[in-house]
Amino acid sequence: MGNVRHFLCTSTLTSEEIKEIFELARVVKKSPKEYANSLKGKTLAMIFEKPSTRTRVSFEVGMLQLGGHALYLSANDLQLGRGESIEDTAKTLSRYVDFIMARVYQDDKLRKLAENATVPVINGLSNDLHPCQALADFFTISEIFGELRGRKFAYLGDGNNVAHSLMLTAPLVGMDIYIASPEGYWVDSRFFVKAQLFADAAGTRIVLTRDPKEAVMHASVVYTDVWASMGQESESVEREKVFADYQVNYSLFSLAAHDAIFMHCLPAYRGKEVTDEVIDSPQSVVFDQAENRLHVQKAILIWLNEKR
């Protein structure tokens, strides 16, 4: 594996490295043409076990804009779907391509890919984490508010992959994060313990609560995600009942700071976790988030390439 840097979790980055990536994303976004040859002739393999709109399109377009090329590989169409090992897949793909991005169910598959690949591996979402999303989201927040230290971030709903990555990243950018979830749907304690260590080191707060109002009160950012993630569709009806009080509607959102923004990684289920009046309001930045996936992932690709 050598010294290849992978991007499987934001917790492998330091605060300084996040700043570097954000600065790169800022200039790439401002002057994309100056980076038109940054990855000339390079190829990204994109393995998808789950569907995607934003991740697939932003990585594919991002590679094209950097002078490279991306290959969409549905896991079912690869020999992986017929039982070829992840280890052999990683070793084989490394002989052809310069980066591998994978969206998988089990996080462990990413670890195995990274251990066996000789090129950088990027987590494009797993059941546990969504690091590209979290980096793009905090980049979006920094574009709007500038300095993030001391600001309150409220996440409402399922303690899922997106919640984990936001929680792990918030201390690294200096934000306090409140996560309001119903009993039984809290963030995984493994990630909480890790994030709390970062928060202790950074002097920031992580608060887990059942009370959505406590989380939203005076927050600068109000964020939610779907109540049933990919792979949990059969639990949708049950989850709609459990999460009903966590819906981001006007009455809840109005408890946040006067200049608060609404965020959602998308896809959103309107009328469930968020109402139209909030997601379509001028304070909603959901499409800026989606756009920034492109710029931040281009920065991640350039940054990983430079680290090789």
Binding residues for ligand CP, per CB under 6 A? 52-55, 125, 133, 265-267
Q: Which of ligand CP, ligand NVA, none does 160 bind, CB closer than 5 to 8 A by kind? A: ligand NVA
Active site residue 130: yes
SS3 for 168-223 is HHHHHHCCEEEEECCCCCCCCHHHHHHHHHHHHHHCCCEEEECCHHHHHCCCCEEE
Closest CA to 161 of 107, 220, 236: 107
Q: Which of 103, 164, 264, 295 is catalytic?
A: 103
Exposed, middle or buried by CB within 10 Å (0-12, 13-18, 19+), for 249? Answer: middle
The C-alpha atoms of residue 231 and residue 104 are separated, in whole angstroms, by: 11
Residue of closest CB approach to ligand NVA: 229
Q: Which of 6, 54, 65, 133 is catalytic?
A: 133
- Could you give phi then psi for residue 160, rounded to 5 degrees? -105, -165
Q: Which of ligand CP, ligand NVA, none does 226 bind, CB closer than 5 to 8 A by kind? A: ligand NVA
Active site residue 295: no
Q: Which of ligand CP, ligand NVA, none does 275 bind, CB closer than 5 to 8 A by kind? A: none
Enumerate residues 6+ apart whose C-beta is below 8 A from 260: 219, 220, 221, 222, 253, 283
Min dist CB 69 to ligand NVA, Å, is 24
Q: Which of ligand NVA, ligand CP, none does 53 bind, CB closer than 5 to 8 A by kind? A: ligand CP
Q: Which of ligand CP, ligand NVA, none does 229 bind, CB closer than 5 to 8 A by kind? A: ligand NVA
Residues that bind ligand NVA (CB under 6 A): 125, 160-162, 225-226, 229-230, 265
Q: Which is nearer to ligand CP, 113 or 125 (CB)?
A: 125
Min dist CB 58 to ligand CP, Å, is 8
Min dist CB 247 to ligand NVA, Å, is 16
Active site residue 293: yes
Closest CA to 20 of 299, 305, 308, 278: 299
Min dist CB 167 to ligand NVA, Å, is 14
Q: Which of 54, 130, 151, 264 is catalytic?
A: 130
Strand ranges for 38-160 from DSSP E = 43-48, 69-74, 99-103, 121-123, 152-156
Min dist CB 53 to ligand CP, Å, is 3
What would you report as the CA-atom Rg of the chain, rounded to the nearest whole angstrom? 19
Question: Cβ–Cβ contacts within 10 Å for residue 152, how many?
Answer: 22
Closest CA to 277 of 241, 251, 242: 251
**Do residues 263 and 223 lie in contact, with contact meaning Cβ atoms separated by under 8 Å?**
yes
Residue type present at position 220: S
Q: Which of 54, 132, 225, 297 is catalytic?
A: 225
Hey, which residues are catalytic here?
Answer: 103, 130, 133, 225, 265, 293
